[in-house]
Amino acid sequence: MTVMAEGAIATADNAEMTTAAALNSALDLALAADPKVLLLGEDIADPSGGVFKVTKGLSTRHGIHRVRDTPIAEQSILGTAIGAALAGYRPVAEVMFFDFITVAMDQLVNHAAKFRYLSGGQHPVPITVRTVVGNSRFGAQHSQSLEAWFMHTPGIKVAFPSTPSDAKGLLASCVFDHDPCLFIEHVGLHYSQKEMVPTGDHRVALGRAVVRRSGDDVTVVSYGAQMPGVLGAAEQLGAEGVSVEVIDVRSLVPLDFPTVLASVARTRRAVVVHGATRFAGPGAEIAATITEELFESLAHPVVRLGARFVPTPFLASGLEALPVPADVVDAVRRLAAS
């Protein structure tokens, strides 16, 4: 069974939304609530409203002085956002594709992430960087899932939602957080699913995982675009008599290890699934922590499923680099039999 997001605060009725609509709602409410919230990015103002239409209508409602189109210059986008944050604003900077954030790594890693520390806590940098992954129809330079790079950087929080409700709640929490937040969206989730989402203020706390499906035999830990496939695999395995517990971590920094460890302590078997490269990916840290904390009680070593260590193939090539539901089914079957 699936569940609604935990840690949520709704102040109005619910409405059915796609992930894109839920993100738009979060930004709209943030702009309305705080005049210091600004949006920066390429083509985000109307009439375009963003490449994926997430910011559609926001410049019309709140003005082009607050929803600002920028040149194609990621260094300038993040540099401006950092400067605005130090001046008391809460900028939300959009980097159109995750791959392009590499152009502005210095601003994000060496400046935004460090100012609070270097100033003895006097100068937080409350910026949110929205970015998109998963557009493999453009191939290797528009599809990389690079979240592990930023998990490795102290001072940056990292969120990667899998549902519309969590997308709205996590984005709102990021916008009003005092530290830099990297908010990752998967293009495949923008319009592929709908659910009831609070129309008013809605927050999901960073660092709180949710159990999407309860089970007793094997724990599967995942997040983002892999979650629908993982839940589908769990349904199939349930029909075979294998009880799978599915945990959506939702944010990677901070990461809710207590929820993960409590589940694995009970099932004694774990699979970690993500779309980032398996080698040195987020699953390596999760698996290592599970092993360090629960080594004596594990029935089997933790299994990691991630992208192959190759550049992301062009979609039309027919090549497959990402783990698919059948891979999850096979991994769980092996663990359940051990």
Residue 2, pLDDT > 60, answer no
Q: Which of 62, 142, 190, 202 is catalytic?
A: 142
Residue 10, pLDDT > 60, answer no
Residue 84, pLDDT > 60, answer yes
Phi, psi of 103 (to 5 degrees): -65, -25
Q: What is the pTM of this model?
A: 0.94
Position 134 scores a pLDDT of 85
| Tokens 């539901």 found at | 325
CA torsion 17-20-25-30 (nearest 10°) is 150
Residue 3, pLDDT > 50, answer no
- Residues 101, 184: Cα–Cα separation, whole Å: 11
Each residue's pLDDT tens digit, 174-218: 999 999 999 999 999 999 999 999 999 999 999 999 999 999 999
User: What percent of the chain lies above the pLDDT cut of 70?
Assistant: 94
Position 5 scores a pLDDT of 44
Q: What angle do CA 40, 54, 85 make, to 5 degrees?
A: 25
| Tokens 């092996």 found at | 334
142 band by pLDDT with thresholds 50, 70 and 90: confident
Each residue's pLDDT tens digit, 262-297: 999 999 999 999 999 999 999 999 999 999 999 999
Average pLDDT score over residue span 5-18: 68
Q: For the chain, what is the mean pLDDT? A: 93
Each residue's pLDDT tens digit, 27-55: 999 999 999 999 999 999 999 999 999 99
Position 12 scores a pLDDT of 57
Position 139 scores a pLDDT of 73
Position 7 scores a pLDDT of 46
Average pLDDT score over residue span 213-236: 97
Phi, psi of 2 (to 5 degrees): -100, 155
313 band by pLDDT with thresholds 50, 70 and 90: confident
Tell me the residue type at 36.
K
Task: Name the strands in the sheet holding 128-133, side by side, starting at the edge strand that comes first in the sequence.
Answer: 67-69, 37-41, 90-95, 128-133, 181-186, 157-159, 251-253
Number of Cβ within 10 Å of residue 56's Cβ equals: 18
Each residue's pLDDT tens digit, 49-78: 999 999 999 999 999 999 999 999 999 999
Average pLDDT score over residue span 99-126: 94
Number of Cβ within 10 Å of residue 7's Cβ equals: 16
Position 311 scores a pLDDT of 83
- Residues 185, 187: Cα–Cα separation, whole Å: 6
142 given a catalytic annotation: yes
- Residues 306, 312: Cα–Cα separation, whole Å: 12
Asked if 194 and 16 count as a contact pair (C-beta separation under 8 A), the reply is yes
